[in-house]
Chains A and B, each alone.
Chain A
Amino acid sequence: MAGATSGVPDLTVHDTGPKLLRYNVEHRGERPSMREKDLGIWQSWTWAEVADEIRALACGLKLAGLERGDKISIIGDNRPRLYWSITAAQVLGAIPVPIYQDSVADEMQYVLDHAGSRFAVVENQEQVDKVIQVKDRCPTLEHVIYCDPRGLRDYTEDFLQNYTDCIAAGKAFDAANPDFYDQEVEKGKGSDTSIYLYTSGTTGQPKGVVLTHHNILSTSAGAVEFEGLNETDEMLAYLPMAWIGDHIFSYGQAYTSGFCVACPESADTVLTDIFELGPSYFFATPRIFENLLTTVMIRIEDAGKIKRWMFHYFMKVAETIGPKILDREPLTLGERLLYFIGNLLVYAPLKNTLGMSRVRIAYTAGEAISPDIFNFYRSLGLNLKQLYGMTESSVFITIQPNGEIKSDTVGIPAPGVDVKIDDNGEVMFRSAGIFQEYYKNPEATSEMKAEDGWCHTGDAGFIDANGHLKIIDRAKDVGRLNDGTMLAPKYIENKLKFFPNILEAVTFGDGRDYAAAFINIDLQAMGNWAERNGVSYASYQELASLSKVYDVIQEHVAQVNRDLADDPELAGSQINRFLILHKELDADDGEITRTGKVRRRTVNEKYGPLIDALYSDASHCKIDTEVTFEDGRTGSITADLEIREAKTIEAAVAQAAE
């Protein structure tokens, strides 16, 4: 970019977040660093303004008693003040511990207590209430700062402090001790612990991953150089702050490249905010890309005949031509012309509606994305790439380089990362981003970190002929049917989830005679279908039990079976029987993680009778399920679920045999 200061700062000099903040003020002080939509208008803060705010906040925290080595929890939606709290805490050598904002009180208590937080900075009354509720069981917690005072005026707890009061006190302190802040910044070293991030964990209690400034900043900087990110880029920070991805993108990469991070107005307005902002750098989990696609499909089905035809016709065109363009393969004149018209009529308007007109790089990660969904976005001309990583690796293990993108691989090792496949097929890596330890959990640490500097990932995969890593499934999830056929549950589930009507699926079959599945319908999509077809229903549970809905899902399952039949290795793992669950799998019930991954063990335990019924002759099964509301109360749902046979296809196997 002309005029843009490019190049990553020297991380041996600017080796901590606070020092990089100073660097950014010197090199691009007047460029925007943060935005937030407030009262309907986007407000911006420059790097210089952000630095002033962090300076005052750090001094305020010092006055409130925060010491080097203390833990300070950060709880709330993506808000500038919470991001600043992270850096301000690091200035003083304290360790920020972000907590998922939608945790129920007990989950929050676990992290607060386990990390031993003395301080907490929280967003609003909702979070303050939760903290107060569990404070008795968090003996180390002494001081809580809240950002939004609304509704908190009558709270008399003396450990509460208003953020603005903290800033004001900090400013006064700074005026009296002008050297204090800079001295504190200088005390920081790259090898200092910069953050604890608690992994939501698909099994058991969350584990606190200890990371240093060096871990976060060197992996961030590597990826910044790899992708050519710079200060003119913009991104929307809408994923949980407690998740490593957000910390790398909205903090690590923002500080190493100087780009601007915007916070949405509220969690419900993200789609509008993306549209208004037009980010150039975009990250979303596969689930979000799925939801977006579902929304698009619903609106298309509601559109007029001509529009519907146009959309489907040109999407077919895009499916064949789009990936070629992104992979820089030669096109015929006819193809160019057709794609041009398609772009004019469908792709560009659609990308605009999704707010992705300006996106240069879009990532997806977190779990495997369905190839169909991946190809849909790529064929629109969106440079969507996969990357592979985890909290323990400070995200980046592999990235797909531009022009070498396939839906079924996750790319080549990121800068400075070594990848190898263990004898048992497990992927292992070695990098600068490798985590220090699990806090207070040496056994788990030694399970993950091998002695020679390599780290386990728990994923099964292999490296293909082009050097790209291909992940099949969680190493422990890949199973075999009784006849020896390989069963990759996630692969099948992703195929099911491509249908907008299916929100989530869980497949079974390890050590059984055939594969079977639980299906979660998507209320939005299925409800829309019901409306168009004159089907009435009163609740999610009723909709999920309708035999007409079963017919629709049965057809989807049959389609997936047809796809599976094309692949000789997987043809044997077609779904024989399925049922539709009467409730959505929910993080509050522990059935999926806060980032949307299915917790198989919990599902197996909770729905045992249903699984048994799938492997019997029964056509119905009764189940009583406990549900947890957001405030922690529990209730129960009773249902009698139908079980259907799905059509399986033998043809491909027969053809293969011919």
Chain B
Amino acid sequence: MTGSATTDATAKQVVAAPQPERKIGGVLLRLEDISLHFGGVKALDHVSFEILEGEIRGIIGPNGAGKSSMLNVINGFYHPDEGTITFKGETRPEMRPDETARQGIARTFQNIALFRGMTTLDNIMTGRNTKMHRNFLWQALHFGPAKNEELEHRLVVEKVIDFLEIEAIRKVPAGRLPYGLQKRVELGRALAAEPDLLLLDEPMAGMNSEEKEDMCRFILDVNDEFGTTIALIEHDMSVVMDISDRVVVLDYGRKIADGTPDEVRDNQEVIDAYLGAQHD
């Protein structure tokens, strides 16, 4: 028999969330004087900057500058040796990644970290994990409140799938997808958590120019449609300068510049860091 999934739902058109005018708000995240050591290596050296609500914040720097360490500090993978992190106005104590996730920080990884054997749908569903309240026994029964809860989460996931235009791979195991799509699924999983702050670690690494263009579009759309604040590490200079509102530049664990793309581009220290300084 042909499987027929035709249901006459009452909700004809899911109403899009009210769309606020895009504006940069107050400080969402403030990093003060953050230092981090691995043995004798200074990964971060008294770095301070802030991320404003609603902005796209680029973090750039040469290899080994401490960019990924910075993200890891923000989402609780690493604990800074010195300094304070203030998120949504509260200075936070040492936190585990799952706790920061609950607070509204989601991220993607430089090397894709999907469940390869699970479908796109299930992978994105895991992004809802922190928001599920029934324990696994309830979920296993798939009955009553647990079922309703799953339906709610599924709706969010389907909106993400619609947003990222990946309907056609809904049921395809992540491991079988090409690289560019895996990156998109990973973004989907982060979005499913409905984060206030989205951390993207090299979302465009290894992509061809068409995939990059698509990904840029999605990042701008996420920021635009949902008002999500985004912190972005990226090596492709033209991309960062194009989509970021403000850029912070790290070099050897130190902050060497901070400002709009134009300001940063003209900063002598940044030029030196990237091209190598000339000494007479």
Q: Which residues of A are interface residues toward B (Cβ below 8 A)?
A: 32, 35, 38-45, 49, 149-151, 153-154, 265-266, 268-269, 272, 275-278, 352, 355, 357-358
Contacts and interface: CB of A to CB of B under 8 A. Distances in A.
B269 interface: no
A355 B1 CA distance: 9
Given A150-B225, A153-B19, A153-B224, A40 B3 contact: no
Contacts of A269: 167-168
A538 to B, nearest CB: 13
5 nearest A-B residue pairs (beta carbon): A278-B2, A268-B168, A39-B158, A357-B2, A42-B6
B112 to A, nearest CB: 22
A42 B1 contact: no
A43 B12 contact: yes
B14 interface: yes
18 contacts: A32-B8, A39-B14, A39-B162, A40-B161, A41-B5, A42-B6, A42-B7, A43-B8, A43-B13, A150-B225, A151-B217, A151-B224, A151-B225, A266-B168, A272-B168, A276-B4, A276-B6, A357-B1
A41 B6 CA distance: 7
B81 to A, nearest CB: 43
B221 interface: yes
B9 interface: yes
Interface residues of B, number: 31
A268 B168 CA distance: 6
Given A39-B14, A149-B16, A277-B4, A268 B167 contact: yes
A607 to B, nearest CB: 26
B212 interface: no
Contact of B9 (A43, A149, A352, A357): A43
B4 A44 contact: no
Contacts of A150: 16, 163, 221, 225
A39 B160 CA distance: 9
A155 to B, nearest CB: 12
A42 B154 CA distance: 15
B5 A42 contact: yes
B22 interface: yes
Given A40-B161, A43-B12, A269-B168, A275 B6 contact: no
B132 interface: no
Contacts of A151: 217, 221, 224-225
Nearest to A276: B5
Contacts of B224: 151, 153-154
Task: State the main secondary structure of chain B at its contact with A.
Answer: loop
B263 interface: no
Contact of A352 (B1, B5, B171): B1
A265 B162 CA distance: 9
A41 B9 contact: yes
B2 A355 contact: yes
Contact of A44 (B8, B154, B171): B8
Given A39-B159, A43-B9, A150-B225, A266 B4 contact: no
A275 B14 contact: no
A357 B158 CA distance: 28
* Residue among B5, B9, B225 with the highest chain A CB neighbour number at 10 A: B5
Contacts of A49: 12
Given A40-B170, A352-B2, A45 B7 contact: no
* Residue among B1, B6, B154 with the highest chain A CB neighbour number at 10 A: B6
B152 to A, nearest CB: 13
Contacts of A272: 168, 171
A227 B7 CA distance: 28
B188 to A, nearest CB: 13
A101 B8 CA distance: 29
Given A44-B6, A151-B221, A266 B12 contact: no
B155 interface: yes
A593 to B, nearest CB: 25
Given A40-B170, A154-B22, A358 B6 contact: no
B165 interface: yes
B156 to A, nearest CB: 10
Contacts of A355: 2
Nearest to B10: A43
B167 A265 contact: yes
A275 B155 contact: no
B3 A276 contact: yes
A266 B163 CA distance: 12
Contact of B2 (A32, A38, A43, A275): A275
B47 to A, nearest CB: 33
A454 to B, nearest CB: 44
Nearest to A46: B8
A228 to B, nearest CB: 21
Contact of A278 (B4, B155, B159): B4
